[in-house]
Amino acid sequence: MRAVLNTTFRSLQVRNYRLFATGQLVKLVGVWMMFTAQDWLVLDLSGNSPGALGVVTALQFVPVLLLTLWGGKLADRYDKRKLLIVANAVFAVTAIVFALLVASGVVVLWHVFLFALLLGIANSIETPVRQAFVSELVELPLLPNALALSAATFNTARIGGPALAGVALAVFQTGPVFLIATALSIAPVFSYWRMSASDLYRSGKRAEPGDTRIVDGLKYVWKRQDLLLPIGLMAAIGMIGFNFPVTLAALAKINFHAGPSSFGLLTTALAVGALGGALAGSGRRSRPGAYVVLGAALAFGVFEIAVGFASSFIVAMLLLVPTGFFSIYLAQAANHRVQMGVDARYRGRVMALYVLVFLGTTPIGASLVGWWGERFGVPSSIWAAGMFCLVAGIVALTWQLRTSGDRLRVRVGPRPRLSLVPSEPLDREPPAKIAA
């Protein structure tokens, strides 16, 4: 057991990473409490409208679509730790003002829309910088573990945050829940401040402005087929498949006639599976192959379809566990494949592109899913999204097989088996110049 724990949590032995993980955990518990309470608040203010939930989610991610690539440029140009201090401070101040409006009882729907947009602006800068900053916290051999633990931290908060919010909403009014959540969101400012800058693993001298053009990062990815596959796949699945903030609240309240604590159970079930998916990848020591990413994408699509056809609240809750597992296992494997295959000079811009296609497409998907749910029913918006993800995975698998020369072999008989027959060994992927 000690050996397993030492392997799973070995990045926490690094002080800077320990501070990073602690600050993120505290903040994200508060953020998930805020988002859970916000979804319930929107349904109350809008008269149970899935479309209004879609608008709020879209507004949170519109800035990601518009500003993330610029955030990646900043990450390659300036001190990432200082950028993160500023971005988190702006997020905390904005969240506090929003919480005071809710607690005072004067909040109306357009206030929620406005602050969703403002919080999204802060996140659009913070997210790509934070993604790139992880590589400065640990040495290269520890990077897969550090990224996996970051995902585990996110999903631990996704378990605790909605669960705490569900209990708090049942006991208190919405205002106190927002006040507690915003108090927690300040934590990263102090954790980044306490880090030792001399212990960061930075590469060479600071880049000059002409060396950090966004277009150069896009050209770099375009020439790398091994990066195009995970980024393109996550663009499709992130846009349509990862819209649970829109669908789960509406599914709980409209279809299953559940209260806020039961809604928290659905979100917690999804997060329990996601935490398992994150920990499953924590022992990874090398760059995952393309078929690991593709297999996770296909499994996620199948389970999302199953959730859409769930006949009861309990069945939906149980199916959300494997759905959550493969959602994060997929996102983490794609993230590892990109992070561990990119030249350090382009990491900020490439990770910004990854965040852009994964999260920045959410306004399109959230609006579409919200419209679909209002017109054809919430369950159909879930299983239709799952079918879209399954088709996207099949298309990506077909493209990978054609470009690599690999093929699938199906064996029929008493023990049917599907196996991969690789082509002749080739160095198809250019070596990545990764500087610690």
Helix (H, G, I), strand (E, B) or coil at 21: helix
pLDDT, one tens digit per residue, over 303-335 is 999 998 988 888 988 999 999 899 888 988 888
For residue 90, being part of any structural domain is answered with: yes
Long-range contacts of 195-201 (CB under 8 A, 24+ apart): 195/16, 195/19, 195/20, 195/81, 196/15, 196/16, 197/81, 199/15, 199/16, 200/16, 200/81, 200/136, 200/137, 201/135, 201/136, 201/137, 201/138, 201/139, 201/140, 201/436
Q: Which helix (H) or strand (E) holds 431?
A: none
For residue 429, being part of any structural domain is answered with: no
For residue 426, being part of any structural domain is answered with: no
Domain count, the chain: 1
For residue 31, being part of any structural domain is answered with: yes
Read off the DSSP letter of residue 434.
Answer: -
Measured CA to CA, the distance from residue 95 to residue 181 in angstroms comes to: 9
**Per the confidence metrics, is the pTM higher than 0.85?**
no
Please tell me which residue, 169 or 21, carries the higher pLDDT value.
21
Measured CA to CA, the distance from residue 320 to residue 272 in angstroms comes to: 9
State yes or no: pLDDT of 431 exceeds 50.
no
pLDDT in the model for residue 336? 81
State yes or no: pLDDT of 250 exceeds 80.
no
CA 433 to the chain's CA centroid: 26
Q: Which of 113-127, 173-187, 192-206 has the lowest mean pLDDT?
A: 192-206
pLDDT in the model for residue 129? 87
**Token pair recorded at residue 158:** 């996704």
198's CB contacts (< 8 A; 6+ apart) are: none
Measured CA to CA, the distance from residue 349 to residue 281 in angstroms comes to: 24
pLDDT in the model for residue 301? 93
CA dihedral 303, 307, 310, 313 (to 10 degrees): 130
For residue 322, being part of any structural domain is answered with: yes
- Using 50, 70 and 90 to split pLDDT, how confident is the model at 426? very low
For residue 203, being part of any structural domain is answered with: no
pLDDT in the model for residue 427? 43
Angle formed by the axes of helices 143-171 and 109-137, nearest 10° = 150
For residue 230, being part of any structural domain is answered with: yes
Instruction: Give the domain extent around 14.
Output: 7-194+208-421
Measured CA to CA, the distance from residue 183 to residue 388 in angstroms comes to: 39
Q: Which of 60-69, 261-270, 418-427 has the lowest mean pLDDT?
A: 418-427
For residue 95, being part of any structural domain is answered with: yes
Measured CA to CA, the distance from residue 166 to residue 263 in angstroms comes to: 7
Please tell me which residue, 205 or 407, carries the higher pLDDT value.
407
Residue 65 belongs to domain with CATH number:
1.20.1250.20
